[in-house]
Chain A
Amino acid sequence: MNSEITIKLPRCKGCGICVAFCPKKVLAIDELGKVIIVNPEACIACGQCELRCPDYAIFVDKKVEK
């Protein structure tokens, strides 16, 4: 996994914008109507989810080699 995805769950309203714009199908909306990470390995840290999240609930950082 090349990325670190942070989710601020209290802010998420489950609108599904991040899910729709993720090119690698990393994200889904769970039964409680919040975003979940279903395929972390596929994340390419493109940041499309973070860019368009209307609720500032999801953040993606590229993993930095230490």
Chain B
Amino acid sequence: MERSYEKYFRQNRLPHLWCPGCGNGIAMKAIVKAIEMKGLDQNKTVIVSGIGCSSRASGYMDFDTVHTAHGRAIPFATGIKMANPELNVIVITGDGDCTAIGGNHFIHGCRRNVDLTVILFDNNIYGMTGGQASPMTPTGKKATTAPYGAVDHAFDACKLAEAAGATYVARSTAYHVQHLTDLIAKGMDNKGFSFIEAMVQCPTSFGRKNKMADPAAMMMWMRDNAVMKAAWDKLPEEKKTGDKFPIGVLYEASDIDYATAYDHVIDLAGGAGK
């Protein structure tokens, strides 16, 4: 039976260009299922992406879509949302796009609490350019530009989002598809900056360099190391080691979103209704 979410894909653009076993397809499906779950109007929903593997998603999704420049998805999305607040604006970005070249835009988007749902496809690597280290490549892991292992410390993008002012922060993985879908849907409910880190496997560029070339094995690694937030909070510090990481809603706060705050400015200036 044809799946109802297929209507959100541009059928003539499929199959997508991602490598065999790439987790991006799983995360993209989670997004359209969340859109369906929330009943967002297909004609009033905009997908904004940057540059990189993740950001090719916009071309496959049947909405108004914009494949912006590297790192710049959040400024474009901010302009779209502020120009027409009735639009649902969803950003798809990657770890390099969001936390390296677009890092400043990311933290300031959080700070403003613009009503966006930002999904970061975290594959720990620059995939499109062939496997260079990103700010989310774990220290010691190999990449073409880190042949002896990454020297840098990796960003925890969720902690970054929380500290910068995002009002909804969550993480899940390609293994935990349904959980990921639910977290994205919950992010859409939040009127403010919602950030969801979707951990996705990159068997081609990250896996091959780090003895995990099998996509299913990478997903099993996610299964075995992800710890639900409630359980994570009960873990003693000495057990939060190794590859273990928390998933779930990591942070939630209530604050006025930017467009609503700016409506007050328009009121003060006497421009309401113009």
Contact = CB atoms under 8 A, between A and B. Distances in A.
A40 interface: no
A54 B177 CA distance: 11
Interface residues of B, number: 28
Contacts of B219: 17, 20-21, 52
**How extensive is the interface on chain A, given as a class?**
20 to 34
Given A15-B21, A17-B21, A55 B16 contact: yes
B3 A59 contact: yes
Given A21-B216, A54-B25, A59-B1, A11 B174 contact: no
A13 to B, nearest CB: 4
Closest 4 CB pairs of A and B: A20-B216, A54-B25, A15-B21, A13-B20
Interface of B: 1, 3, 6, 9, 14-16, 18-26, 29, 174-175, 177-178, 203, 214-217, 219-220
Interface of A: 6, 10-11, 13-17, 19-21, 51-57, 59, 61
16 contacts: A6-B1, A15-B20, A15-B22, A15-B203, A15-B216, A16-B215, A16-B216, A17-B215, A17-B216, A17-B219, A52-B177, A54-B22, A54-B23, A54-B215, A55-B16, A56-B25
